Structure 1
Amino acid sequence: MDGKMLARVGAIVFIAAAVTATAIEMTRKEDTPIYQSVDRADAESVDPLRAELIRCAGIGEAGPRDRSCLRAWAENRRRFLAPGARPAERLPEAPQSPRPAATTSPAPAVPLQPEEAR
C-alpha cells in the first residue's frame, strides 16, 4: 500500500470510531445520584426551619409576600443574631430561575406581624 491509501484508511477508521463512540454516549441514560434525595430528606426531618428557608429561596419574588416565609426569616434572624449562635452548616444554593419581565407597578407591601409570645 502506498502512503495516500494508508492515510485514507486511517482517517476512515478514526471517523468510524468517533461516530460509534458518539452513538454509544447518546444512548446512555443519565444516572441521578441517590444521595441528593436522601440528604434533602434528612435535612428536612432534622430542622423544619431549614426546609422552609429552602422552599422560600426557591419561590423567588413570591417569598416576601408569603407569611410563612416572613416568619421563617424572622426566626432565622433571631437564631443567627442570638449571642454565641453559630450556624451548623450553610444552606444549599437555590436553583436559578430566569427573571420575569419587569412590572410597572410595585408589589403590595405585607406588614410584619410581631412574633407570638412564648
Structure 2
Amino acid sequence: MSPRLSFRLAAAAFAVLAILIATLQARRPSTTPAPASTNTDRVVTPQAARLARCQSLGAAGAEDPDCLKAWDEARAQFLGTKKVER
C-alpha cells in the first residue's frame, strides 16, 4: 500500500469519526442547568443597600461623596485593611 493511499484512508476515517461524534452529540438530550437558588431570606445590610444605590447611579456615583465613602469601606473590608476616612 502506498503512503499516499494510507494517508487518504486515514483522513477519510478521521472525517467519518468526526461526523459520527457530531451526530451523537446532536442527538443527545440537552441537560438544563439547575435553577439558581432564589434566597429571599437574605439579610440586606446597610452597606449593601448603599452600594446598590451607588450602582444604580451609574457614572454619577463616581462623583457622589457618599458612594466614594461606601466603596472605600467595602474595599477596606474586602482587603482587610483600615477604613479610609474621606
> Shorter-chain-normalised TM-score: which range?
0.3 to 0.5
- Normalised by the size of structure 2, how large is the TM-score? 0.46
- Normalised by the size of structure 1, how large is the TM-score? 0.35
The answer to which structure, 1 or 2, has the higher relative contact order (CA under 8 A, 6+ apart) is 1
- Between structure 1 and structure 2, the one with the greater Rg is 2
Higher helix content, 1 or 2: 2
